Amino acid sequence: MLAGRPLRDSRIETLANGSKFFSLLTMNVFGYAGDDSNPRPIPNRTLYTIKKKMSDYLQAGIATRARTDSGGKQPWAWDALKFAFCSDRVKMPLEQVIPIPREDLWWLAASDDLVLLSDRVTHHYTTVDHVAREADRIFFLDEWPERIFLKAGLNAADVAAQVDPYLAGVLDDAAPGLKNKKHVSITRDEFLRVIVGLVTLDTPALLDRYLAYRPEAKQDFAIRYAFGAALMDVEMDQLAKFAVPHLKAAWQLAGSKRADVNAERVAALFYQALAIAKFAQLFPGEPLAAKPFADELDALLVKVSEQSLLDRLDVEELARIGNAAGHARDFAASLRYLEHAVGRDPAHDGARHLRAMVKSVTGNWSGVAEDLVVALAANAERSRARAAERDARDPRDRHGLDDDKARLGGLRGRRCEELELLFNAYVNLGDFVRARATAEEVVALEPDRASGHRMLGALAMQAGQKEEARRHLAAAREKETAPGGRAQLDQVLASLGAPPAEPAA
């Protein structure tokens, strides 16, 4: 058997090393929460919620990177994602965490993984520095290494961690920032006594490597289902094709298996993966690229009624298929899925927004407006609720506050997108009063967003107010970040007789 998981893609290793360095820098920087005279309650976090949050950061980082100039970008693996694994002795939902034999967590552990360790009394998250497999020892970078419960006498698992200067202090002179940094290490046996689970970064190939390492897992329903669910959970449509074989295997295993397996739900997730894989494969414009998934889908529908599959998908899952179909420009299919989603939850912000986008393609502007009015009301409600959550949060919960900020920003961004589309609907319906109010709301919400100014400019042009149009469009030009958008605004401004804008430095 292999001593450990094979080295990851070099791009992932580079990122892992970078984040590890960050863990090193934050060591002993923040106060130990337990030292507070009135310690805040421990937030309710699981391997899954942490994985979700890490995935969100990863996706946000990728999105930002895609928007920025290409100069100096480090190459990135498009299919990298976070996986959460746990010992199969722990009962966690298969759609959240992948259960594997506890000893396989040793095979799996890699640099920069977040691990959950527990002696059944204390539960603690920390970061893997590296695994010295030949020496049977694993090293951690902990925020408070001297306080770690793994030290002898501080745990009920008979673990006696060593706490040593980082890299034996050899970098003290070369990198003064690393002076006084320490790592914690325990043996393989100790690790297996306390490990509960881990969150790791890799590509879908990790799952194939794991199956090659432990072939009997190919016939393990829980593992195959959790593999498929993990690949779907990250919400990257391009990964659905990798989820399909695992969910197909899980579905086949579920049929002949335990009474506690919800085979219909498994079939529904398999259906969702197939539908998304099919649409994602259609996107580049080669219909035969989608055929293997389309044929699988047909084969599934011979055995299970589509309605029963749709009934077992939640509104987000239905909306996601609708979105994938829309991207593939199959608007009829997209509308069908979104009708199901909206039927399930008529006030669902995302489903309404997506349906409005599809309706806009077909020119159904009153339908667009109708959906967006509901979506905007839902958005406002969610924003209010999240703001209340933020206001009630203990100010020492910095991770929670960061999350609040990101979520509220996301909701605001979504609101602006919905308003932009609503503006188009009102203009197409000839309702310029409402269109103006919509544009003004965008400007008020995000003054640095070009679109609000652009919309006001368009309204002024429509009303023949040249000077007013010039003013708004010049503001839009100043704030526009997309080169194509800037070029287009330059043209419009030139047609209005405005002097050309200074080229970007």
- Footprint on this chain of another protein (rule: CB under 8 A): 9-11, 69-70, 73-78, 203, 205, 241, 244-245, 248, 277, 281, 283-286, 288-293, 295-296, 298-299, 482-484, 487-488, 503-504
Compare residues 286 and 478 and give the one whose CB is closer to another protein: 286
Bridge partners (DSSP) of residue 163 are: 184
Complete DSSP assignment for 415-438? HHHHHHHHHHHHHHHT-HHHHHHH
> At CA 406, angle to CA 401 and CA 409, rounded to 5?
125
Q: How far apart (Å, rounded) are the C-alpha atoms in residues 452 and 458? A: 10
Q: How far apart (Å, rounded) are the C-alpha atoms in residues 36 and 363? A: 60
Closest approach of Cβ 410 to another protein, in Å?
25
Q: How far apart (Å, rounded) are the C-alpha atoms in residues 130 and 143? A: 16
Compare residues 185 and 281 and give the one whose CB is closer to another protein: 281
- DSSP-based three-state secondary structure for 345: coil
Residue with tokens 């002696």: 119
Closest approach of Cβ 311 to another protein, in Å?
24
Closest approach of Cβ 73 to another protein, in Å?
6
Compare residues 70 and 307 and give the one whose CB is closer to another protein: 70
Closest approach of Cβ 463 to another protein, in Å?
27
Q: Length of the chain in residues, anyone?
A: 505
Compare residues 287 and 430 and give the one whose CB is closer to another protein: 287
Q: How far apart (Å, rounded) are the C-alpha atoms in residues 164 and 365? A: 66
Compare residues 293 and 365 and give the one whose CB is closer to another protein: 293
Closest approach of Cβ 166 to another protein, in Å?
25
Q: How far apart (Å, rounded) are the C-alpha atoms in residues 51 and 200? A: 8
Closest CA to 250 of 237, 232, 235: 232
Q: For residue 5, how many other CB atoms are within 10 A of its CB?
A: 21
Compare residues 282 and 427 and give the one whose CB is closer to another protein: 282
Assign residue 185 a region: left if phi > 0, alpha if psi is -120 to 50, beta otherwise? beta
Q: How far apart (Å, rounded) are the C-alpha atoms in residues 17 and 130? A: 10
Closest approach of Cβ 504 to another protein, in Å?
6
Residues whose CB falls within 8 Å of the CB of residue 502, separated by 6 or more in sequence, listed in order: none
Closest approach of Cβ 23 to another protein, in Å?
23
Closest approach of Cβ 334 to another protein, in Å?
19
Compare residues 259 and 504 and give the one whose CB is closer to another protein: 504
Compare residues 76 and 213 and give the one whose CB is closer to another protein: 76
